[in-house]
């Protein structure tokens, strides 16, 4: 559907929510005031026509005053006394005129508009006329209009204040989203106690989105650093081997070294692909037998299957077998690089899940270093190969499956490094 083109005023109003709120609320106040004015005008015209709801009372009052003036009309002293009495009792200006319009008696000031006009009649003959004006003069016509204008202005200013208060959180949120769009992922919108409504929900969602983007960008930077860190050494070795082969010094060992470096780079690419799957949540979860995953990992690394010790009663876990195998391979490879290899792979049931442990008899863990082992590029013995992504990827895989990682010193020397995973929940009956 084609949108209508807006004029300058329309574009000005629509550019800000605050302006739209202000004009909509102000327009509502204006329409309500206009409706009230129309009703008051209609009542005033009805009053001028003598059709007010108090008409019966007015008619009775006019009849009573007419009778009093008719009784005292022929007695000027009594007539004037009664006129003064009305003036003093009601504060009204009272003017008596003869049939020709000449003023006979007047009490009070002149008035331009009489509230009551009644003829004085006796036996069908007009004796004169009485004009009564309450307050002595007609009120100024601009006063009601001025009062209405003041009320409208007060409502209009109140509308502006309400519109600003309602739109301020959205204005601040718009500024934060602009900063996020410009690359400042540390920008956050303030979530005040007065914002438990939809605006507060949007603000919280934007803050969570920014935190997620910031975390993803940090992970990507770590990934780039990891690629540079891990590939530099094997690529340098491949280059050296190729130069030796070019110079005619290639031997069987040269090609074995080349094959080993290519295998190492292939393993690294596998780690990076696994990390990418974890980062983007591309997990293929299914009920998995951890024992079989451990057997496959030992076979893949050409390790003795007798290293595996699995206790009875192991439950299935809801896991991605490929990623879980990658985690176990990394644990075993870490033991090979830093502890001379694993001497035990233990699988044991734990309340609510399964624990997978890799035991070694290496130098152990220095005090306070266990948690650092699962950070990217953490290193234990600087004379060994860098850990790079190894244990960091294990932690990410465990967390992606709802599990945790741990590292502790082993009794008698060495270390125990592993992860725990929750057991698979039974499928709901169809």
Closest CA to 132 of 68, 179, 52: 68
Would you give per-residue pLDDT tens digits along the chain (430 residues)?
444 454 554 554 445 656 666 666 766 777 777 777 776 666 555 555 444 444 556 677 778 888 888 888 888 888 888 888 888 887 788 888 888 888 888 888 776 666 678 888 888 888 888 888 865 444 555 666 777 777 777 777 777 777 677 777 777 888 888 888 888 888 888 776 655 567 778 888 888 888 888 887 887 777 777 677 777 777 777 777 777 777 776 677 777 777 777 777 777 777 777 777 777 677 788 899 999 999 999 998 889 999 999 999 999 999 999 899 989 998 998 888 888 889 999 999 998 899 999 999 888 877 666 666 677 554 444 334 443 467 888 898 999 889 999 998 888 888 999 999 999 876 555 4
The tokens of 400 are what?
């992606």
Q: What is the pLDDT of residue 389?
A: 61
Q: How many whole angstroms separate alpha carbon 303 and alpha carbon 358? A: 13
Q: Write down the architecture of domain 55-134 according to CATH.
A: 2-Layer Sandwich (3.30)
> Rg of the chain over CA atoms, in angstroms?
48
Residue 233 backbone dihedrals phi, psi, to 5 degrees: -70, -50
C-alpha 188/C-alpha 167 separation (Å) is 18
Determine the Cα–Cα distance for residues 226 and 389; give it in Å rounded to an integer. 7
Q: What is the CATH number of domain 283-422?
A: 3.30.565.10
**Where are the alpha helices (H) located in 73-184, listed in sequence order?**
76-90, 142-181
Q: What is the DSSP letter of 89?
A: H
Residue 197 is given by DSSP the state: S
How far is Cα 62 from Cα 119, in angstroms, rounded to an integer? 9
Residue written as tokens 């090979």?
336
Cβ burial 295-327 (10 Å sphere, 16+ → b, else e):
eebbeeeebeeebbebeeebbebbbbbebbbbb
* CA–CA gap between residue 205 and residue 176 (Å, rounded): 12
| Distances, alpha carbon 338 to alpha carbons 168, 226, 272, 363, in Å | 57, 19, 21, 8
In this structure, what DSSP letter does residue 427 have? P
φ and ψ at residue 354, rounded to 5 degrees = -130, 140
């Amino acid at each position: 559907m084609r949108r209508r083109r807006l004029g300058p005023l329309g574009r000005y109003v629509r550019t800000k929510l605050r302006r739209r709120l202000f004009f909509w609320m102000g327009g509502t106040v204006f329409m309500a005031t206009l409706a009230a004015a129309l009703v008051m005008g209609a009542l005033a015209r009805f009053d001028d026509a003598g059709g007010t709801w108090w008409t019966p009372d007015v008619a009775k009052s006019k009849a009573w005053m007419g009778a009093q003036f008719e009784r005292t009309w022929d007695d000027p002293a009594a007539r004037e006394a009664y006129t003064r009495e009305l003036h003093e009792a009601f504060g009204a200006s009272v003017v008596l005129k003869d049939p020709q319009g000449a003023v006979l008696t007047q009490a009070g000031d002149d008035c331009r508009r009489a509230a009551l006009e009644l003829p004085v009649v006796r036996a069908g003959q007009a004796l004169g006329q009485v004009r009564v004006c309450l307050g002595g003069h007609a009120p100024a016509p601009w006063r009601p209009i001025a009062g209405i204008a003041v009320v409208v202005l007060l409502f209009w200013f109140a509308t502006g204040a309400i519109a600003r208060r309602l739109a301020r959180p959205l204005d601040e949120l718009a500024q934060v989203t602009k900063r996020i769009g410009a690359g400042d992922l540390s920008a956050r919108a303030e979530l005040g106690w007065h914002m438990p409504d939809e605006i507060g929900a949007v603000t919280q969602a934007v803050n969570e989105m920014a935190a997620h983007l910031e975390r993803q960008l940090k992970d990507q930077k770590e990934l780039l650093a990891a690629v540079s860190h891990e590939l530099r050494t094997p690529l340098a070795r491949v280059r050296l081997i190729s130069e030796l082969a070019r110079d005619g010094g290639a031997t069987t060992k040269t090609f074995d070294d080349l094959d080993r470096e290519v295998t190492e780079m292939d393993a690294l690419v596998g780690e990076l692909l696994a990390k990418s799957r974890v980062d983007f949540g591309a997990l293929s979860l299914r009920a998995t037998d951890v024992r079989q995953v451990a057997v496959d990992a030992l076979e893949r690394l050409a390790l003795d299957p007798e290293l595996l010790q699995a206790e009875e009663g192991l439950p299935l876990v809801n896991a991605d077998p490929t990623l879980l195998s990658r985690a176990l391979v990394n644990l075993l490879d870490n033991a090979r690089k830093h502890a001379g290899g694993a001497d035990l792979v233990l699988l044991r049931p734990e309340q609510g899940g399964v624990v997978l442990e890799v035991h070694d008899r290496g130098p152990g863990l220095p005090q306070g270093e266990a948690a650092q082992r699962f950070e990217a590029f953490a290193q234990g013995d600087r004379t060994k190969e860098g850990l790079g992504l190894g244990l960091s990827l294990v932690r990410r895989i465990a967390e992606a499956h709802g599990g945790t990682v741990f590292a502790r010193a082993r009794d008698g020397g060495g270390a125990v490094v592993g992860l725990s995973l929750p057991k698979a929940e039974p499928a709901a009956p169809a």
